[in-house]
Chain A
Amino acid sequence: MSIFVDENTRVIVQGLTGGQGRFHGLRNRDYGTQVVAGVTPGKGGTDVEGIPVFDTMEEAVALTGATASFVSVPPRFAGDAVIEAAKAGIAFVVCITEFIPAKDEAYFYNLLRDEYPGTRLLGPNCPGIISPGKCNIGITSGSIALAGGPVGIVSRSGTLTYQAIHELSQQGVGQTTCVGIGGDPVPGTTFIDCLAAFEADPETKAVLMIGEIGGSDEEAAAAFIAEHVNIPVVAYIAGQTAPPGKKMGHAGAIISGSQGTAQAKMDALAAAGVVVAANPTAAGEKMVEIVHKMA
């Protein structure tokens, strides 16, 4: 099984007619994802390589029965796109857009939580989600992933997600689902959401988790793991040598005051029984070891 998406997930690409939306939307379809429509206001009635484009999400959902959307629009339009998807009844919204103002993010996060509890948002500023062999929404390269499980991956960083997938696939260890939750301060889906879903998924036997400096989502995840997660978890935290007060690329990756250091996160995870690795390669090796012992 997989979490959040599967082979039946029907996806609308919001911004399919844009450069990024077209590139990734078509790649996702080539992977086998059911990309059933695109939405771009003013471009309704056209198509992108056979994928029909609609003016509104409401129309697109009504005519295609889509349950998921992939938001690939510029930052200033991203908030409206996410809200429009939720209003149209979309259950799973993946927003890859980077550089969205924090106020917009905080606003649509809370609006969704209060008014549209049936909608899960992944991102923004995330690489998306891939359930190997079933569904790929976002910018992950499908060719590096290996179907069949038993590992679930959850990560705040894009390239480190790919690195982790690759380390496992090279050793013949497959993935059930790989979720990139993104590096922004207000992620729609958190480590805890993914850990809970992986724990509930009978095919996911272990979780590889990649965190980074900033915020305290990893500490919260550690507390959750101690209480609710029985499958083994391996973790790596990026930014162990990052200086305080400097944003390391992601808007959320900043050590402010005594908050958000890699060491605090690693300590909390280790105390919760998580296998903490010093670097991504070591994390991959430790996970491969765990999986081999299970067999």
Chain B
Amino acid sequence: MDLFEYQGKQFFARYGIPTSPGGVADDVEEAVRQADAAGYPAVIKAQVQVGGRGKAGGIKIANNAAEARTYAEAILGMDIKGHLVKRVWVEHSSDIVKEYYASYTLDRNAKKYLLMLSAKGGVDIEEVAATDPEAIVRVHIDPVEGVSRQVLAEAVEASGIDLEARAGVVDLLEKLYLAYVSGDADLAEINPLILNSAGQIHALDAKVTLDDNATYRHPEWAEYAATVEYDGRERLAKEKGLNYIGLSGSVGIIANGAGLAMSTLDVVNQVGGSAANFLDLGGGASADTMSAALEVINTDENVEAVLVNIFGGIVRCDEVAKGILEALSRVELKAPMVIRLDGTNADLAREILAPHISDRLVVEPTMVSAAKRAVELVKKGA
């Protein structure tokens, strides 16, 4: 789960990481009130989960209430790279002396945690990594051993962070590590991490991704989950307990297993079509799960054909075939369906489906032929 900046700052605050006090606003009046409360100059920041907000005009500094109103009006409702701004964060503008960068994440190659630290903050870190890799200090941390203050101090020194900021940055990195590990974050990033004119270090931005698998030990995450933005299809799928991702094509995909579902997307693309979604039924593929999948697919107006791709290992294809027929009797599917079943008892499954074959229900023996057929049906419909 990706957090909005204001949530990331709330998350950081729980671990003692200093941030500027401020507040959120969903409308212009509230934004002006928050700016008045924060004191001018106040910065108004669009809350969207996409990089490059500043360049897009989503971050403005207001010197008085009139400016706060003008900027809030401009930013609320703005479209930033396809993300609609529904909320702004308003805080007192910081007196920035220096901008640094700090993050913890998992290095999948090394299978250890990775601290990245740079004296060159405030800009896109991937750009720094590409143009000036030496400017980023990388330290691997063994998850069993953790990280010592000594190691952090050495990293800070190596990064070239200004002398007067070093002790403060070491403190902050200790707290950020705690937030990353105890807070079960996949990513805890501060860019920029600033030194202000009072000599203090604090987080001017917060980019946090939480590990969904750790939700069970963080009841406090419920408030973050409530603000996650799904499209209508994704929300319904989540309610039905399906592993679903909405895409923009015209072939609805239903498969059992994440790998097979991904692979189905690939094959549809290879035969000239495009997938409307990723949908993994999981191991079961029962009538209930299949019905739920059909309901979700039905809500997608772009779908012109549905491709069901099942491999029966332990789950037998004949049971899946019965489940599909049962689901089709419960849910009236808007688009025609192409079914490919292979594996255990696939022959039996094809016998069960045979009497039901029509223009609306097609059975194909292979993934590729099924994908071709689905794409043909889309073209016929168009």
Residues of A within 8 A of B (CB): 27, 75-76, 99-103, 106-107, 109-111, 113-114, 139-141, 143-144, 155-163, 166, 183, 185-186, 210, 212-213, 215-217, 220, 236, 238-243, 246-253, 257, 262, 278-281
Q: How far is the CA of A217 from the CA of B214 in the complex (A)?
A: 24
Least CB separation from B246: chain A residue? A246
Residues of B within 8 A of A (CB): 106, 108-109, 111-113, 126, 142-144, 181, 184, 186, 211, 213-214, 216-217, 243, 245, 247, 255-263, 265-270, 274-275, 278, 280, 283, 311-314, 342-344, 366-368
Q: Which residues of A contact B245 (CB under 8 A)?
A: 246-248
Tell me if A241 and B259 are in contact (CB < 8 A): no
Using A166-B343, A238-B266 as known contacts, say yes or no to A159 and B260 having CB atoms under 8 A apart: yes
Task: Give the interface centre of A102, A107, A241 by most chain B CB atoms within 10 Å.
Answer: A241
Which applies to chain B's interface (DSSP): helix, strand, loop or mixed?
Answer: mixed
Which of the residues A76, A139, A155, A216 comes within 8 Å of B314, measured between beta carbons?
Answer: A139
CB A213 to nearest CB in B, in angstroms, measures 7
Q: Which residues of B contact A186 (CB under 8 A)?
A: 106, 108, 111
Least CB separation from A252: chain B residue? B108
Q: Which residues of A contact B259 (CB under 8 A)?
A: 155-161, 183, 210, 212, 238, 249-250
Q: How far is the CA of A243 from the CA of B143 in the complex (A)?
A: 31
Which of the residues B108, B216, B261, B366 comes within 8 Å of A215, measured between beta carbons?
Answer: B108
Using A144-B313, A160-B257 as known contacts, say yes or no to A103 and B266 having CB atoms under 8 A apart: no
Q: How far is the CA of A159 from the CA of B256 in the complex (A)?
A: 7
Q: How far is the CA of A263 from the CA of B106 in the complex (A)?
A: 23
Q: How far is the CA of A229 from the CA of B326 in the complex (A)?
A: 49
Q: Which residues of A contact B342 (CB under 8 A)?
A: 163, 166
Using A212-B259, A249-B262 as known contacts, say yes or no to A241 and B144 having CB atoms under 8 A apart: no
Q: Which residues of B contact A162 (CB under 8 A)?
A: 311, 313, 343
Q: Which 3 A-B pairs have the closest CB atoms?
A: A157-B259, A249-B258, A159-B257
Other CB < 8 Å A-B pairs besides A183-B258, A220-B109, 16 of them? A27-B314, A75-B213, A76-B216, A76-B217, A114-B142, A144-B313, A159-B311, A159-B313, A161-B259, A166-B311, A217-B108, A238-B262, A239-B265, A241-B268, A248-B278, A278-B270
CB A25 to nearest CB in B, in angstroms, measures 13
Least CB separation from B245: chain A residue? A246
CB A149 to nearest CB in B, in angstroms, measures 21
Which of the residues A113, A155, A246, A257 comes within 8 Å of B126, measured between beta carbons?
Answer: A257
